[in-house]
Amino acid sequence: MDLSTIIHKTAADLRVAPNFSDYEAERHGFSWDAIRRTLGAQPDGGLNIAWQAVDRHVESGAGDKVAFRFLSRGGPAARAVTYAQLASLTNRFCNVLRELGVGKGDRIFILAGRIPELYTALLGGLKNGCVVSPLFSAFGPEPIATRLNLGKGSVLVTTDQLFMRKVAAWRDRMPSLKHILLVAEDGGSTAIPGTLDLAAMMRSATDACQITPTTSEDMALLHFTSGTTGTPKGAVHVHGAALTHWATGRYALDLHADDIYWCTADPGWVTGTSYGAIAPLLHGITSIVDLEEFDAQRWYGILHDEGVTVWYTAPTAIRMLMKAGTEAARVRAFRRLRFIASVGEPLNPEAVWWGKNVLGLPIHDNWWQTETGGIMIANTPAFDIKPGSMGRPLPGVDAAIVRRNEDGRAELIDSPGTEGELALRSGWPSMFRAYLNEEARYRKCFAHEWYLTGDLARRDTDGYYWFVGRTDDVIKSSGHLIGPFEVESALMEHPAVAEAGVIGKPDPVAGEVVKAFVSLNKGFEPSEALRLELLGHGRSRLGASVAPKDIAFLAELPRTRSGKIMRRLLKARELGLPEGDTSTLETGS
């Protein structure tokens, strides 16, 4: 069959009336002010994500509704937390912080898997007016310390085991850190010197709490992302982002009040926070949170047994399910499932059709990035899917394809089908407000009113956007954005390595995997033993999901005359592609 065939929406595909059906009319009538009015006024006149996401529902009488169902293997069947319980837990956590003298604007880092305490700390921290930064729990000690130091974290919430494995030995290198709150992974208590037992502090805290007043422009979340060069970038997000999270939950995920929703993203990345916690809570619905890692049978079991209605996942996960075979899916019928969306990497047309043919529903790709704070371009229930396209800009979002001019202006490319940089008109509520302490880097992302995304794309005659690639060298592996510079720096800390160049190598399941090329210092010779040692060094410093999966030795790395390693050339050579413009290549390499 022709995989590019348009998937027309039928009543069977939709199953319930979607939140909107006329795309043009909805865009035309849209206003962010109206969304603000829909969310409702807070008693203190301000805006706080946690109040909107939790307390608002309790005050309107929906406190008994389940907010989260936490699933774990071998543990209790499922732990359900209602909105009223979540309000109480987050109040307590807010009071724990106050007890420690932690106040508005202080930075709280969270390093944990998808445990209940992560959600409590995230929302309780926001209630206290703190800035919360969730970290990917699979990071190794180096990326953790780098981010915590850049963000001047004063509180770290983590588990006893993660602390011992990843933080304890690096503790002295994190001078801003004042309090370490530990969750015992066995459910008991912890008593590690220099740390505090969170469970004990929660027990003795009261659950009466006045939220610290915040406005829509107060800083709420700090999400780190990677660029091609330099340190990771701390994208600053504000409480007003809640408007985008609510609106996109309505348009791109089609959330309805009685949904059982499952977002599979890890909260250490922006999707897991914005759509694994905030958006579904703003809609007052029930979310499934699985504490375990990917397992095809388990995932099909969850979709079926939990009666998931809306599922938000990622291309790598879908490709892993496809690899597990059709039979595994067909064992169960997913009668309640009615909407599937995906984000993070290009979703190939095969995967869109696999959804339709095997799960009975097409997969709706959508696009956004850490900086945009929320979904910007999406396939929605309101229009047909062109498999392979990211969809169309959501109501409230203006997108364009542009070319950057020498003078820094963005020239709009009007002709459909022409490739250029994807740009968004500034002004949506969840737009990042800064790269922490990096004003010049932030300013470089804008050309007048346009935010330049760093992605290449094209728009077709029907206004659908098609992803083409990145303008830079960042790597997307299993949906995680990896900065080559961070990997190169860690490799160069090994005494054998003189220089390192890191690329993303295409992979049928993960999208890309990290491959490093290294040249060695005098006195070191390439050998299999050294290769394995360097792979191990990468894993222990960076964590398995960021470390190179492959390392090759080169006598010298190709460099520009100004001394920059030409990753583009390394990649072209690796893939046997044309080497392109090599006029800046330093001769002799």
Site residues for ligand AMP per CB under 6 A = 225, 270, 343-346, 365-367, 369-370, 390, 453, 455, 467, 470, 476, 481
Pick the closer one to ligand AMP by CB: 117 or 266. Answer: 266
CA dist list (Å): 146 to 120, 169, 180: 24, 14, 17
Closest approach of ligand AMP to the CB of residue 302, in Å = 23
Closest approach of ligand AMP to the CB of residue 511, in Å = 9
Pick the closer one to ligand AMP by CB: 162 or 318. Answer: 318
Pick the closer one to ligand AMP by CB: 95 or 372. Answer: 372
Question: Which phi and psi (to 5°) does residue 238 adopt?
Answer: -115, 170
Pick the closer one to ligand AMP by CB: 211 or 399. Answer: 399
Query: Are 451 and 423 within 8 A, CB to CB?
Result: yes
Query: Are 326 and 350 within 8 A, CB to CB?
Result: no
Give which of 275, 226, 168 is closest to 477, Cα–Cα. Answer: 226
Give which of 191, 200, 194, 150 is closest to 172, Cα–Cα. Answer: 194
Pick the closer one to ligand AMP by CB: 91 or 316. Answer: 316
Closest approach of ligand AMP to the CB of residue 151, in Å = 17
The residues pairing with 447 across neighbouring beta strands, listed in sequence order, are 450
Pick the closer one to ligand AMP by CB: 154 or 545. Answer: 545
Q: Which two tokens stand for residue 172?
A: 């002295």
Task: Pinpoint the alpha helices (H) of 205-323.
Answer: 241-251, 270-273, 279-282, 296-305, 315-323
Closest approach of ligand AMP to the CB of residue 367, in Å = 4
Give which of 277, 265, 290, 284 is closest to 79, Cα–Cα. Answer: 290
Provide the Cα torsion 478, 482, 487, 489; round to 10°.
Answer: -170
Distance CA 374, CA 270 (A): 9
Give which of 249, 307, 349, 302 is closest to 18, Cα–Cα. Answer: 249
Closest approach of ligand AMP to the CB of residue 391, in Å = 8
Closest approach of ligand AMP to the CB of residue 454, in Å = 6
Pick the closer one to ligand AMP by CB: 270 or 566. Answer: 270
Closest approach of ligand AMP to the CB of residue 378, in Å = 9
Query: Are 246 and 38 within 8 A, CB to CB?
Result: yes
Pick the closer one to ligand AMP by CB: 133 or 225. Answer: 225
Closest approach of ligand AMP to the CB of residue 426, in Å = 17
Pick the closer one to ligand AMP by CB: 182 or 457. Answer: 457
b/e burial code for range 398-423 (CB count within 10 A of at least 16 → b): ebbbbebeeeeebeebeeeeeebbbb
Distance CA 206, CA 209 (A): 8
Q: Other C-beta atoms within 10 Å of 369: how many?
A: 20
Instruction: Report the half-sphere exposure of 524 (CA within 13 A, side-chain side).
Output: 21
Closest approach of ligand AMP to the CB of residue 193, in Å = 36
Pick the closer one to ligand AMP by CB: 190 or 313. Answer: 313
The SS3 assignment for 507 reads strand
Pick the closer one to ligand AMP by CB: 56 or 392. Answer: 392
Give which of 246, 270, 249 is closest to 429, Cα–Cα. Answer: 246
Distance CA 338, CA 494 (A): 51
Q: What is the CA radius of gyration of the chain?
A: 24
Pick the closer one to ligand AMP by CB: 367 or 451. Answer: 367
Pick the closer one to ligand AMP by CB: 286 or 313. Answer: 313
**What residues contact 78, with CB distance under 8 A and at least 6 apart?**
69, 70, 71
Closest approach of ligand AMP to the CB of residue 365, in Å = 5
Closest approach of ligand AMP to the CB of residue 270, in Å = 5
Distance CA 71, CA 478 (A): 23
Pick the closer one to ligand AMP by CB: 70 or 275. Answer: 275
Closest approach of ligand AMP to the CB of residue 390, in Å = 5
Pick the closer one to ligand AMP by CB: 120 or 342. Answer: 342
Closest approach of ligand AMP to the CB of residue 500, in Å = 22
Closest approach of ligand AMP to the CB of residue 329, in Å = 22
Closest approach of ligand AMP to the CB of residue 479, in Å = 8
The SS3 assignment for 422 reads strand
Question: Which phi and psi (to 5°) does residue 173 adopt?
Answer: -90, 10
Query: Are 299 and 328 within 8 A, CB to CB?
Result: no
DSSP 291-321: -S---HHHHHHHHHHTT--EEEE-HHHHHHH
Strands (E), 314-416: 339-343, 363-367, 377-378, 392-393, 399-404, 410-412
Q: Other C-beta atoms within 10 Å of 259: how many?
A: 24
